[in-house]
Amino acid sequence: GENASHSPEKDREHWDSDYPDCGGTMQSPINIDTARTIFSPDLRPIQLSGYSLPANERLVLKNNGHTVVLELPESLAITGGYAQQYRAAQLHLHWGSWLEPGSEHTVNGRRFAAEIHVVHYNTKYDSFNEAMVRPDGLAVLGAFLEVGPSENPYYHEILEHLHKIQGVGQEVLVPGFNIAGLLPANLKLYFHYNGSLTTPPCYQTVKWTIFNQTMLLSHDQMSLLVRSLRTDDSDLLQNNFRPVQNLHGRQVLASFQ
């Protein structure tokens, strides 16, 4: 498929020629119309375990040409809020440019500055690749990033290394830290729906959780995010978000009223 992070809008609509699922009816991201979400009191708080990593643990941070990916040990797990247990695989970000916001999901048509995705797979499968093609195979935790008054120390753990991986394919080892700090403190308030990967192969195997509380980064941190990485020698890696997809009748649940 095309270079997902960089191809002009028009190219994105032709993923389905190479990847049929990209033209499916349960695609992500979506716009969340809060007037049409269904309050579901049985949605329990998301519980994370093993997210606090010691500094002597080293994680691979990579510019893969489409986003920045932090590879995660399988010891991180979602142990509450989903019917089954899910194990972490990686986390990555979606962003815009100096001028434009770049979250993938939108809320009431509002696009946020950026969005983090922490990708997990169901522990009942032996590997990510096996889980990736199963309806209950993947769980992605998403949160919106906005500009706030002060520096975010957890996002600093990733952003401070971006200048070392400006080129596609470059990677660097970063010390462990509390990965939970990249997500909201309040894991009770979230939207939940069935969707897909937002890049080819667009498998429709993701149970999405989008938190209501947003993460705040300083202006300088957001600027670092949008101006550090390159897709090739000349182009900045920016606007790596997929357009919102049709709900096709899907319901979006909310854990709060």
Ligand X SMILES: NS(=O)(=O)c1c(F)c(F)c(SCCc2ccc(C(=O)O)cc2)c(F)c1NC1CCCCCCC1
Residues labelled as active-site residues: 66
Omega prior to 201 cis, within 30 of 0: yes
- Looking from the CA of 104 toward its CB, the CA atoms found within 13 Å total 28
Q: Which is nearer to Zn ion, 62 or 117 (CB)?
A: 117
Cβ 115 vs Cβ 103: under 8 Å: yes
Paired with 119 in beta bridges are 90, 140
Of the residues 107, 183, 197, 222, which one makes contact with ligand X according to CB under 6 A: 197
Cα dihedral 119→122→128→129 (10° resolution): -120
- In the region spanning residues 134 to 163, those forming contacts with ligand X, defined by CB under 6 A, are 140
User: Does 230 engage in binding with ligand X (CB under 6 A)?
Assistant: no
Which of 117, 120, 192, 230 is close enough to bind Zn ion by CB under 5 A? 117
Judged by CB under 6 A, which of 6, 87, 92, 207 binds ligand X? 92
Going by C-alpha positions, the residue among 179, 252, 256 that lies closest to residue 213 is 256
Q: Which does 59 bind (CB under 5 to 8 A by kind): Zn ion, ligand X, none?
A: none
Report the sign of the C-alpha dihedral through residues 174, 201, 81, 244, in that order.
positive
Specify the stretch interacting with ligand X by CB under 6 A; choose among 63-71, 75-83, 151-159, 231-239.
63-71
HSE (CB half, 13 Å, CA atoms) of 11? 10
Q: How far is the CB of 17 from ligand X (least distance, A)?
A: 17
Cβ at position 70, least distance to ligand X in Å: 11
Beta-strand relationship, 110-111 and 106-107: antiparallel
**How does DSSP assign 183-199, residue by residue?**
S-S--S-EEEEEE--SS
Among 6, 66, 161, 192, binds ligand X (CB under 6 A): 66
- For residue 159, what are its two tokens? 């952003």
Report the nearest approach of ligand X to the CB of residue 110 (Å). 19
Rama region for 249: left / alpha / beta (φ>0; ψ in -120 to 50; rest): left
Nearer to ligand X, 74 or 151 (CB): 74
CB count, 10 Å around CB of 194?
17
CB nearer to ligand X: pick between 151 and 162:
162
Specify the residue, 140 or 215, whose C-beta has the smaller distance to ligand X. Answer: 140
| Residue 4 lies near ligand X (rule: CB under 6 A) | yes
Task: Kindly state the smallest distance separating residue 55's Cβ from ligand X, in Å.
Answer: 25
Which amino acid makes up residue 58?
A: R
Q: How far is the CB of 199 from ligand X (least distance, A)?
A: 4
Closest CB to Zn ion among residues 90, 152: 90
By rule CB under 6 A, what string of x and - marks binding of each residue 113-132 to ligand X? ----x-x-------------
Q: Which of 128, 228, 223, 217 is nearest to 181 (CA)?
A: 217
Binding site for ligand X (CB under 6 A): 4-5, 64, 66-67, 69, 89-90, 92, 117, 119, 140, 197-199
Which residues of this chain interact with Zn ion, rule CB under 5 A? 117
